[in-house]
Amino acid sequence: MSSNRIVHLRRAGVSVLIDATGEGQPALAHWGADLGDLSPAELGDLLADSVPAVPNAVLDQPLRRGLLPERALGYRGRPGLSGHRSGADFAPRLGLTSCEVSGDVVVLTSTDDSAGLSVRSELELTGSGVLRINHEVRNTGETPYQLAELAAILPIPDVATEVLDFTGRWSAERVPQRQRLGMGAWTRENRRGRTASDASFVTTVGTDGFGNRTGTLWSVHLAWSGDQATWSEAIPDGTRVIGAAELLAPGEVELLGGESYRTPDVYGAWSDRGLDGISERFHHLVRSHRNDGPRPVVLNTWEAVYFDHDLTRLRDLADIAARVGVERFVLDDGWFGGRRDDHSSLGDWTVSSDVWPDGLGPLVDHVRGLGMQFGLWFEPEMINVDSDLYRAHPDWLLGPHDRLPPEARYQQVLDVARPEAAEYLFDRIDSLVKEYGIDFIKWDHNRDLVHAMHEGRAGVHAQTLAAYRLFERLKEANPGLEIESCSSGGARVDLGILQHTDRFWTSDCNDALERQHIQRWTQFLIPPELLGTHVGPPEAHTTGRRHNLTFRAATAFFGHFGIEWDIASASEQDQAALVEIIAAYKRLRGVLHTGSTVNIDHPDPSATFSGVVAADRSSAVFCYAQLATTLAEKPSAARFAGLDPDRRYRVTPLTPAGEPAAGHRVPPPWLAAGSATMSGRTLQTVGLPLPVLHPEEALLLELVAV
């Protein structure tokens, strides 16, 4: 509802209150718990009664912190709009000129005629209760305006005292880190040209000691795949905010008269049910814009054959893949140009006549004859100096014209924002997709952008938008084509690129122990069905650690299941187990890919207990994983959350890959009997005793309402 330019949005247990009264900028007066159905008079009273005191030794009037907090009004933190016009107009003072409300979308326009700037702000409270916000600044003056930053800055209350965000590296993505929010700013800036493995991912501020299922939280995610900044900030005047913005290089965005710049969307989620409450909102948001259906079982050939492409060997691999139940066969790197290793040929997107004298047709036909889809690996945004493309077009490289940027993995970056380069990529990829009827592209991006220059200025912004356009164009030209975002494994995971892709490769690390952590925290934002979770070989090539198939399969179960393993060399016993594992996955993927993720605050730090509960709460799948040695002789009980308290559930062990290795003489009686039946309330409050498992073992449990 709105009255006298006070706008109150309410959805999914969340209220957003926008104060668009007065002459200055509109302000976000409240974002969080539902305030109820307030009358116009009550809304006015709430705003009037919320004006703080004016302490000594400060400005004479309380600061009105608008949507874009302004240094011209005395805001002491990171301002919402930064830039200048040859040194002038560095501190604009915006005034509201229009407020339009259409359903749950509010569009606000504010201007500063003296500075020659106009800002259009769009806020939407989505059906998931997630707040979407973006700003667009327009240069209404006659001289160029150098934009430094345009940010979404959201208020949080003083009870929000603890910060969670993420860091990481290749094969160890999305490692959580927590700290107190003291006075000042905790700022994370990503200058790697892509959403990197150490990106902040989601910035969350919450009440002390918040957990998986407890605490009140405010979270922000920037839907952008280039350079970015996120921060949380506390100021002695009582201001507490979290913010996010594209991180622009000096001179990267210059607005001529009449030109504009629009921010990426920023998504804010509030929860009073801990981290899982945030995840539930983000997952609902993502799923509301997609219709993915059951995710097919994938076999990717990289860890099976690497660069050793041989038709006979790959046909044999496809035969076994089909036999165990694989539905999509993906040929990885090594099929094009002179690509026998990672030193050359990126950019030469022509099937290698040496390795594939008859083209890919014989393999594609064989795969399709077995009833599987066919996928192919590309890395379109990269180029090797040792390639025909670079020799023909050295000026297509993204970088300065007089010297090469440092190499990474023997690669440079192709300037996709250059129209000729983009057209070349589209033509080559589109022709291959059409020639072979390719169903799926694994789209890799294996290096950072360093000294990225496009048309004489910083080029990350232009490169990111150009990549989005290329994705969009290919999908429009090939309806039904799916694209996976892979970037040195699990980099470039964000909601910006997800608007153009269909799946993320979660990490190059298929070590099941490492994957337990990586997948859990990637699922904080991304629904599990959009995350590639593959069973790797017995010995992980990234860590050298060995795990049995039971643990590897249980870990891969919770996502878009696949195989990254030379299963032709697997034992008959393991191949037979894969048949059972894949059959179980197919039977349960309807729940796994539509239900609510549940992460229990398990008291033993050496173990985790998590799962997925069906949307109608009629069934669930949980996983108890013993990740390290515990001091407890007996494990803590399994206390299930998310169930219907008034329904009774039968709990049975799910062991398609065999029983996990146990360290007890006598198992719990219910487990020895094969099942237990209890109410959802009892399962949550009392729980079930768990078996003693060896470290790096896992037990799957299936629940069905009876």
- Work out the end-to-end distance of the chain between its first and last CA atoms, rounded to an integer number of angstroms: 44
Contact 330, 439 (CB under 8 A): no
Instruction: Tell me, rounded to whole angstroms, the distance of Cα 478 from its chain centroid.
Output: 25
Tell me the C-alpha distance between 84 and 147, whole Å.
7
Contacts of 586 (CB under 8 A, 6+ apart): 294, 297, 325
Q: Which residue has the tokens 């973006």?
A: 134
* 370 Rama class: left (phi>0) / alpha (psi -120 to 50) / beta: alpha
Handedness of CA 208, 211, 217, 218 (dihedral sign): positive
Collapsing DSSP states into helix, strand and coil, what is residue 35? coil
Tell me the C-alpha distance between 512 and 536, whole Å.
8
The 10 Å CB-count burial string (b at 16+, else e) for 280-308 is: bbbbbbbbeeeebeebbbbbbbbbbbeee
The residue among 615, 617, 533 whose CA lies nearest residue 287 is 615
Entry field: residues in the chain:
706
Contact 620, 637 (CB under 8 A): no
Written in H, E and C, the secondary structure of 258-312 is CCEEECCCEEEEEECCHHHHHHHHHHHHHHHCCCCCCCCCEEECHHHHCCCCCHH
Residue 258: CB atoms within 10 Å: 10
The residue among 547, 508, 498 whose CA lies nearest residue 657 is 547
Contacts of 383 (CB under 8 A, 6+ apart): 346, 347, 389, 390, 396, 397, 411, 412, 413, 414
CA angle 512, 513, 517 (to 5 degrees): 105
**What torsion, rounded to 10 degrees, do the Cα atoms 272, 274, 280, 283 define?**
120
Amino acid, res. 474: L
Strands 117-125 and 105-112 turn out to be antiparallel
Contact 119, 152 (CB under 8 A): no
Task: Calculate the alpha carbon distances from 91 to 115, 536, 613 in Å.
Answer: 8, 55, 51
Give, for 638, the enclosing helix (H) or strand (E): none
Tell me the C-alpha distance between 360 and 240, whole Å.
58
* Helices (H) then strands (E): counts for the chain: 13, 39
Contact 28, 125 (CB under 8 A): no
CA angle 300, 447, 488 (to 5 degrees): 30
Active site residues: 444, 508
Collapsing DSSP states into helix, strand and coil, what is residue 199? coil
Give, for 48, the enclosing helix (H) or strand (E): helix 40-49
Contacts of 56 (CB under 8 A, 6+ apart): none
Write the DSSP assignment of 647-682 as a string of letters: SEEEEEEE-TT-PPPB--SS--HHHHHT-EEEEHHH
